[in-house]
Amino acid sequence: MLLNWLDSSREGAGRRYVEIRRRLVQFFVCRGCHESEQMADLTIDRVAQKVPRIAEGYSGDPALYFYGVARKVHMEYMRKQRSTPAVPPPLDENSGEDDEQYTCLERCMEVLTLDNRLLVLKYYQDDRQLKIDHRRELARHLDIGMNALRLRVFRIRAALQECVLNCLKNGLARNVSPDNVIA
């Protein structure tokens, strides 16, 4: 029922669901919630329960309905926080996980296409003014604008991070799949 409400086609509905979930997670992250993924899922569950009643009479972008429900979920979270505040763990600057993460990143980098690998390396090398000059040169070389370059690298980086997280979950890069990265 929920998917039908989001889009008439199955594929379109799936895409829309993933997109809205990403936005919900980011909404809760921005509001400083420690369990943003669970809260996003809780929001979706609540909307799914209400869809049979509201779908027919609702007009406009369904994403905004999710936003309204997410705000209520967050208010409940805040009330709960006031009685039992969640303390964030201390910042662990040098944990043993770093080496595992590095190994995973090495393997995820290998799965990238050569062009994307070189792009990431060049984009992040050097510091300050040298870095800015370098990026300008890179954009000129690729014949794209600076913002397009920024977006391109952001997407590769996001895919790399997802690949590294999967790698860590599955235990030291045993299952680094090209599906996890932009090839």
Partner 1 sequence: MLEERLFTSPDYLDEMLMCEDELIDSYIGGSLSPEEMEAFQSHFLLTPERRQKLKFARTLKRYVAASAAAEAPAREAELAQEKEVTREKEAGWLAAFVGRLMRPAYYAPLAAALLLLVAYGSWQLAVGWRQQRHRTALEAELSELNREQTEGAPSAPGLAAFTLTPGLVRGAGGSAELTLAGDTRTIRLRLDLPSDDFQTYQALLQTGADDTGVAVKGLRASGQGNSRAVVLNLPAALLPDGEYRLALRGTPEGGAAEDVATYNFRVRRS
Contacts with partner 1 by CB under 8 A lie at 20, 22-23, 25-30, 32-34, 36-37, 61, 63-64, 66-67, 88, 91, 97-98, 101-102, 105-106, 109, 120-121, 124-125, 127-128, 150-151, 154, 157-158, 160-161, 164-165
Give the CA distances from residue 11 to residues 16, 50, 138, in Å, rounded to whole numbers and listed in that order.
9, 22, 36
Taking the complex as a whole, how short is the minimal distance between the CB of residue 10 and partner 1, in angstroms? 21
Taking the complex as a whole, how short is the minimal distance between the CB of residue 16 and partner 1, in angstroms? 11
Q: Given the complex with partner 1, which of 42 and 164 has the nearer CB atom?
A: 164
Taking the complex as a whole, how short is the minimal distance between the CB of residue 103 and partner 1, in angstroms? 10
Name the H helices within the chain: 2-6, 10-30, 36-54, 62-83, 97-111, 114-124, 128-142, 146-169
Taking the complex as a whole, how short is the minimal distance between the CB of residue 88 and partner 1, in angstroms? 5
Q: What is the three-state SS of 88-119? A: CCCCCCCCCHHHHHHHHHHHHHHHCCHHHHHH
